[in-house]
Structure 1
Amino acid sequence: MFCVFEEIDEPDVVCWNVIIDACARSGSAWRAVEVLSRMCRGGAVADGFTLASILKACSRGQDLGLGMQLHAWAWKIGLESETATGNALITMYLKCGGGVHSAANVFDGISEPNIISWTAMIAGLVQNGLAMEAAGFYKQMVRVGEKENDFCFTSVLSAFSTLASLEHGKMVHCRAVKAGFCFDTILGNALLDMYFKCGSSADAQFVFDAMQAHDVVSWTAIMVGYGRHGEARKAVECFRAMVDGGFRPDSITFLAVLSACSRGGIVDEGLSIFRSMSEDHGIKPEIEHCACLVYLLGHAGRLNEVETLIRKMGLQLDSFAWESLLSACGIHGEVELGKRSAGKVMELEPWKDGPYVLLSNMYAEQCQWREKEMLRGKLDYSNVRKNAALSWFPVSEAN
């Protein structure tokens, strides 16, 4: 592309915009700035699309300084209120950590904000943990008569999912149906997530059945949802249906169904699915998958299998795996294995007080007071300090 560009004798602003956009899409913001500088030296006049292209490449905290410089330049040449530039500035500030206030100021300065402007603000607020503010912004958008698109609906549903507001989530669902977006796969996935997080697995299943097309995200979302709702059997049924339907589960899908099995205590199915990862689907189990199996086997009382799994899967240096085994030992009163597990955690993370507390409780339950006292001495000698426990209770005012 650059070779073709260099052969153009007098490139116009469109040619410059194309080459700048190519640099930005490759993630090279500074290369795009160099081309912009060359463009200005050549006498071409930048427009809103020029700035918007470069700003798209500013997506990390380290790009904030460049983004602010481009904002100042946009203000200097009178492009700050132009819609395309303003939209790109909003996204830049929210992605680069420049502050919601800065993004809101840009939005207020846009002469004609469009659906992209509104959606950028809503999505950015959600991503910055300001779901309530995003919901308020959406209500303002509806009041001024701006019509949603599929991206806007998806962003708004993320806000109401975070707020666990079923009533408002259903309202957005109705508006999506009325606007003709109800069968969109991406929007359907967002609806699945919203209904599960708002506690309505029946509505989530209705949405899933109504979707014209599913993808791996759809299947994974419904497994995650059923797992969180304690309906592990349904999550496993969805996994089987997904595989039978010709979909290829990925590592996230396996994590979802294994987590469901762990929460539901479905041992045999969990073991079978875990084995199928590598044997049938060629996916190497990661630490998170193994942790699910450790939890599953441990709480089922199959503690020796857990220790074997930790060693077989190379998790000897994973303190979380040993902590899970230690916790299971406490449930089932396996003191000797608990001692070994606690020793591993103390070795890997000597600053943690958790293994001391769990093992001490195990000694107390078995009336092994001497061992408990010795452990206490070891804790004091190690200079590890247990965080003080706090409690609260209501106090009525004195009359």
Structure 2
Amino acid sequence: MPEARVVPDEITYSAAISACEKGGQWQLALNVLSLMPEARVVPNAITYSAAMSACEKGGQWQLALNLMSLMPEAMLVPNEITYNAAISACEKGGQWQLALKLLSLMPEARVVPDRITYSATISACSKGGQWQLALNLLSVMPDVRLAPDTITYNAAISACEKGCQWQLALNLLSLMPEARVEPDEITYNAAISACKEGSQWQLALHLLSVMPVASVVPNEITYNTAISAFEKGCQWQLALNLLSLMPEVTLVPDEISYNAATSACSKGGQWQLALNLLSVMPEVRLVPDTITYNAAIGACRMGGQWQLALNLLSLICNAAISACARAASGSWH
């Protein structure tokens, strides 16, 4: 730009930093910010907010908070975008206490929290296993004239799921239509996962069945979670049925799908089916892992097939030895 006799200003730099943020290049965003004083361009609140968002996306919560702490020195007042970026950074970094602290500081700074602020803080509490705090934040939103949206409810339901509060998760899901909020696949996935954690396979099956009625399309995560719910409930037939349905709905089963189904067969004493699943994985370009083999060996144990169990164990050992040999050969060369 200088060669073209065009002088970049704070808008130019802010746009460049925002571009880096959208591209996931937090290091470049910070580098651009650091060049501004040299170019005699003063960063503004938008510049700092964009740089903080870049750090947030890059999982650099410490850097995001450091940038925020520098703003008063630059005679800049953080706004709701700044706080939202900082809280989101804390959420990504698993710092729920800091997220709550920032939220509590906003009124003192005369900054009004918005829906994004609350959603990010609820999500931070969810990640920190603080389901009570998440629900408390959700409950106070109407008091501050904020209407929770799908993202807010999803975060709260996920918090209940992590806290093994399946009843509360389902209650939140049931409240969404009344609040004129549309559940999406993330909502249902979290609710089904909550049912799985609570060993409520019937409810998980019900939620899966009502998704098409709600015009929500199940994805791989939905099916994997439901299969895992059936595995916990010792419903091997349902687990296998779901696994077989996935290709029909253009979903590709992955290692998680097969592991859960194999484990379901193991729990149901179906060692032949467990071994069959193990054998077809290479055909669908999936590599069995330790979890898969453990489930298959467990199935053989329950079926009294000790020879097959030992055979599977030897396969794992041979594979491990081969891997070590390849690694040693590579390092030698």
Per the normalisation by structure 2, the TM-score is 0.84
Question: What are the residue-to-residue correspondences of 1:82-231 with 2, within 5 Å?
Answer: 82-96=44-58, 99-110=60-71, 111-211=76-176, 212=180, 213-231=182-200
| Contact kept? 2:115, 2:148, Cα under 8 Å | no
Indicate which of 229, 238, 245 corresponds to 1:276: 245
Q: 1:119 to 1:322 in 2, by over 3 A?
A: same
Distance in structure 2 (CA, Å) of the matches to 1:189 and 1:130? 19
Per-residue deviation, residues 83-125 of structure 1 (Å, max 9, x unmatched)? 110001112234446x544322321233121111011111112
Distance in structure 1 (CA, Å) of the matches to 2:130 and 2:287? 42
Indicate which of 58, 65, 75 corresponds to 2:37: 75
Match of 1:45 in 2: 7
Distance in structure 1 (CA, Å) of the matches to 2:7 and 2:234? 66
Provide structure 2 residue ranges, at least 5 long, that are not aligned to the other structure: 324-333
Q: 1:345 to 1:239 in 2, by over 3 A?
A: same
SS in 1 for 2:106: helix
Q: 1:95 to 1:188 in 2, by over 3 A?
A: closer
Q: Which amino acid aligns with 2:313?
A: A
Q: CA deviation at 1:196?
A: 2.3
| Contact kept? 2:24, 2:54, Cα under 8 Å | no
Per-residue deviation, residues 55-74 of structure 1 (Å, max 9, x unmatched)? 23435999454333212122
Q: CA deviation at 1:143?
A: 4.2
Q: Which amino acid aligns with 2:98?
A: E
Q: Which amino acid aligns with 1:270?
A: A
Distance in structure 2 (CA, Å) of the matches to 1:93 and 1:172? 25
SS in 1 for 2:321: coil
Distance in structure 2 (CA, Å) of the matches to 1:62 and 1:87? 15
Identical counterparts, % of pairs:
17
Per the normalisation by structure 1, the TM-score is 0.71
Q: CA deviation at 1:227?
A: 0.9
Q: CA deviation at 1:331?
A: 4.8
Distance in structure 1 (CA, Å) of the matches to 2:163 and 2:11? 40
Equivalent residue pairs, number = 311
| Contact kept? 1:226, 1:234, Cα under 8 Å | yes
| Contact kept? 1:154, 1:186, Cα under 8 Å | yes
Q: 1:247 to 1:174 in 2, by over 3 A?
A: closer
Indicate which of 297, 304, 314 corresponds to 2:265: 297
Match of 1:8 in 2: none
Question: What are the residue-to-residue correspondences of 1:255-334 with 2, within 5 Å?
Answer: 255-279=224-248, 281-314=249-282, 317-320=287-290, 321-334=292-305
Q: Which amino acid aligns with 1:301?
A: G
Question: What are the residue-to-residue correspondences of 1:233-248 with 2, within 5 Å?
Answer: 233-248=202-217
Larger Rg: 1
Provide structure 1 residue ranges, at least 5 long, that are not aligned to the other structure: 1-37, 353-399
Q: CA deviation at 1:299?
A: 1.5
Q: CA deviation at 1:187?
A: 1.5
Distance in structure 2 (CA, Å) of the matches to 1:215 and 1:156? 20
Bigger relative contact order, structure 1 or 2 (CA pairs below 8 A, ≥6 apart): 2
Q: CA deviation at 1:156?
A: 0.3
| Contact kept? 1:258, 1:292, Cα under 8 Å | yes
Per-residue deviation, residues 24-71 of structure 1 (Å, max 9, x unmatched)? xxxxxxxxxxxxxx3x33333333332232223435999454333212
SS in 2 for 1:350: helix
Match of 2:328 in 1: none
| Contact kept? 1:79, 1:85, Cα under 8 Å | no
Per-residue deviation, residues 252-295 of structure 1 (Å, max 9, x unmatched)? 1111211211122122222222222112x122222221111111
| Contact kept? 1:107, 1:113, Cα under 8 Å | yes
Distance in structure 1 (CA, Å) of the matches to 2:153 and 2:287? 41
The answer to which of 104-113 and 114-123 deviates more is: 104-113
The answer to which of 300-309 and 199-208 deviates more is: 199-208
| Contact kept? 2:103, 2:113, Cα under 8 Å | no
